[in-house]
């Protein structure tokens, strides 16, 4: 398969071939400048190939069988962990996950709370469901 000559085709090809399902604007900066990449990403949003999960964060999309709308390929927790790893933020096991895993409680964690080391000032989520951050004690 040959890569298309237009910037849109080149970005589409890179999104399709990459193992990660989360993309940042900086992932495509070797192809063109920030404004052009932003325009192409908006086109891909309109074509339902990607969904926006945060400021400058996009995820590969699939069409929901229930609503026939685009949704992220993976669950929101996996997307957030991938995005945080790309931003060099260390993700650790939260207190709630730890208590559940060592069978200290039967309360199943929701998965919307992620323990991190460091600081994050970015909302990650989709369709009104956002991740919350907790500072890791360790």
Distances (CA, A) of 133 to 16, 53, 76, 129, 138: 30, 16, 13, 13, 15
Distances (CA, A) of 58 to 20, 73, 86, 108: 11, 11, 12, 28
pLDDT digits (tens, 9 = 90+) for 39-66: 999 999 999 999 999 998 999 999 999 9
pLDDT band at 136 (very low <50, low <70, confident <90, very high): confident
- Residue 109: what pLDDT? 66
Domain ranges for the chain, please list them: 1-73, 75-138
**pLDDT of 123 over the 60 cut:** yes
Looking at per-residue confidence, does 3 or 112 come out higher? 112
Task: With CA atoms as reference, report the closest residue to 27 among 90, 89, 91, 83.
Answer: 83
Put simply, whether the predicted model's pTM sits higher than 0.75 gets the answer yes
H/E stretch holding 92 reads: strand 90-92
Class of domain 1-73: mainly alpha
Distance, in Å, from the CA atom of 4 to the CA atom of 76, rounded to the nearest integer, reads: 31
**pLDDT of 138 over the 70 cut:** no
- Residue 1: what pLDDT? 47
Tell the residue number behind the tokens 């940042």, with chain if given. Answer: 24
pLDDT digits (tens, 9 = 90+) for 88-119: 888 887 777 777 777 777 776 677 888 888 88
Query: What is the residue-averaged pLDDT of the chain?
Result: 86
Q: Find the DSSP H helices in 1-138.
A: 7-17, 34-46, 76-86, 95-101
81: helix, strand or coil: helix
| The two three-digit tokens of residue 60, written as one number | 């590969």
């Amino acid at each position: 398969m040959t890569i298309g000559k237009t910037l849109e085709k080149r970005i589409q090809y890179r999104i399709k071939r990459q193992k990660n399902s989360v993309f940042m604007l900086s992932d495509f900066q070797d192809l063109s400048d920030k404004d052009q990449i932003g325009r192409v990403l908006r086109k891909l949003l309109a074509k339902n190939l990607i969904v926006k999960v945060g400021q400058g964060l996009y995820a590969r999309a699939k069409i929901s069988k229930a609503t026939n709308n685009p949704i992220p390929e993976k669950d929101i927790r996996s997307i957030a962990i991938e995005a945080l790893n790309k931003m060099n933020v260390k993700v650790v096991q939260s207190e709630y996950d730890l208590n559940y895993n060592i069978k200290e409680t039967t309360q199943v964690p929701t998965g919307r709370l992620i323990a991190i080391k460091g600081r994050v000032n970015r909302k990650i989520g989709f369709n009104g469901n956002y991740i919350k951050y907790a500072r890791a004690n360790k």
